[in-house]
């Protein structure tokens, strides 16, 4: 599993959690103006797992 961090059409940061087969397991329900806030949201979901974050 891995996290994908990207900007949406409104230029806000969003993330999605992807399985090994690249299917979306979860995604952010809101956009973030600051990249750091999006990463914080990932870390809240991530917990103790070691899933990497890929920035688009």
CB of 31 within 8 A of CB of 5?
no
Domain residue limits, the chain:
2-55
Q: How many residues does the chain have?
A: 56
Q: What is the pLDDT of residue 21?
A: 95
CB of 27 within 8 A of CB of 17?
yes
Which ranges of the chain have pLDDT less than 50? none
What is the CB-side half-sphere exposure of residue 22 using CA atoms within 13 A?
Answer: 0
The CATH architecture of the domain made up of 2-55 is 2-Layer Sandwich (3.30)
Residue-wise pLDDT for 23-34, tens only, equals 999 999 899 999
Q: What is the pLDDT of residue 48?
A: 59
Type and span of the H or E element at 20: none
């Amino acid at each position: 599993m891995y996290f994908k961090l990207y900007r949406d059409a409104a230029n806000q940061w969003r993330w999605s959690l992807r399985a090994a087969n690249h299917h979306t397991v979860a995604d952010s329900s809101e956009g973030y103006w600051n990249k750091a806030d999006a990463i914080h949201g990932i870390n809240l979901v991530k917990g103790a797992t070691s899933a990497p974050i890929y920035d688009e």
